[in-house]
Amino acid sequence: MKLPTFEFCALRYLLLWSQKEARIHEQMKDSPEVSDLREALSHFGIARNFRNISEDKIARTAIDTLLKVSGDNSPSAEQKVIKLARRFEAKFNKFNLSAASKLLWLRHRSPFLIFDDRAFRSLKRLSQEPFKKQEYLKYVSAWRSTYDQNQNAIKQAVTHLPDALPFVRDWYQSKEEIASLASQDWFQERIFDIYLWELGGNEQPVSQ
């Protein structure tokens, strides 16, 4: 299997951010409405984890839970993700780190890291560290360690993004604007997420 390049993942994420995630982030970062939550859940394919989310009252409960945990004094981003997953479990009968991490990322971006099943499969093989799906702290540790090993390659890949200006729609006015976006830590971290997701697409399930 041919491995995805960081250049491919960088361009893919530039388009994903520009076409969709930037707008959803703006909707979710302050006081999201029910329609904003549903769009966020649909974007990440996690609506199925929230029973009866089509009902406005249930959606509002999910938003209130997210806002409460998002604004609490937990000492770390990782602990907030775990806490939100537990709160969702109490209300929706499912402990889901993926949903918790993705919603918190959409609100704040850095320092939150997204947990995803496909990324889990890739990371478990790349890092060679023993951890299970529910062990979010170990997942984050493995993610950051593996990211550090690839950070220089990602930084090099994003230097090519300004050259894509003639090939994208009018979201950006200049190469400098693209370069400024691509230099952000959260943007480069999401490129690595895309890389892990691509890599995990053709992999067989691993032990959990």
What is the Cα–Cα distance from 51 to 68, expressed in whole angstroms? 20
Where are the domains positioned within the chain?
A: 6-19+114-200, 24-108
CB contact at 8 A, 139 and 131: yes
Q: Is the pTM of this model over 0.85?
A: yes
For each of the chain's 208 residues, which pLDDT tens digit applies?
A: 678 999 999 999 999 999 999 999 999 999 999 999 999 999 999 998 898 999 999 999 999 999 999 998 878 999 999 999 999 999 999 899 999 999 999 999 999 999 998 999 899 888 877 788 889 999 999 999 999 999 999 999 999 999 999 988 878 889 999 999 999 999 999 999 999 999 987 544 333 3
List Cβ<8 Å contacts ≥24 apart for 205-208: 205/121, 206/120, 206/121, 206/124, 206/125, 208/132, 208/133
For residue 197, what pLDDT is reported? 93
Say which DSSP state 96 is in.
-
Look at the block and give the residue holding tokens 């593996």.
146
Residue 127 to residues 5, 86, 136, 165: CA-CA distances in angstroms?
18, 27, 15, 35
Which residue, among 113, 182, 183, 110, has the nearest Cα to 143 in the 3D structure? Answer: 113
For residue 204, what pLDDT is reported? 42
For residue 205, what pLDDT is reported? 37
